[in-house]
Amino acid sequence: MDKFLQAAIDEALLGLAEGGIPIGSVLVHQGKIIGRGHNRRVQSGSTVLHGEMDALEHAGRLPASVYQESVMYTTLSPCSMCSGAILLYGIPRVVIGENQTFMGEEGLLRERGVSVEVVQNAECIALMERFIADQPQLWNEDIGE
């Protein structure tokens, strides 16, 4: 397995262990993780700390050129908010663990020139299937339903 996707899965598992939603993400620049995060909406009482947003937050303020040379790895297809951030910062490539339990804005990303790769990783799928079955209300809140 790709070590960066594994790092995103590790973040998702950390979020789950903290009582949150198991979605993780890492931002990679020139083969090095520069930001990692997981969905912390529950833990932080936040409206916006999805996995991708948390990874960007932990990457910190960087020159636009760094984002434009980076890859976002995420365990789940990015929602409209996270896809918007990917577009805003010009991140050219996104690797997605799975999109079977939730289909985000992959079409928009592709339309705007982002390279999108979906791996359908079994661990990512199982993690979200279990979480959605166990916590349907929390999951629906997270995706705005």
Q: Which residues are catalytic?
A: 52
pLDDT in tens, 84-95: 999 999 999 999
d(CA 59, CA 44): 18
pLDDT in tens, 103-122: 999 999 999 999 999 999 99
pLDDT in tens, 26-83: 999 999 999 999 999 999 999 899 999 999 999 999 999 999 999 999 999 999 999 9
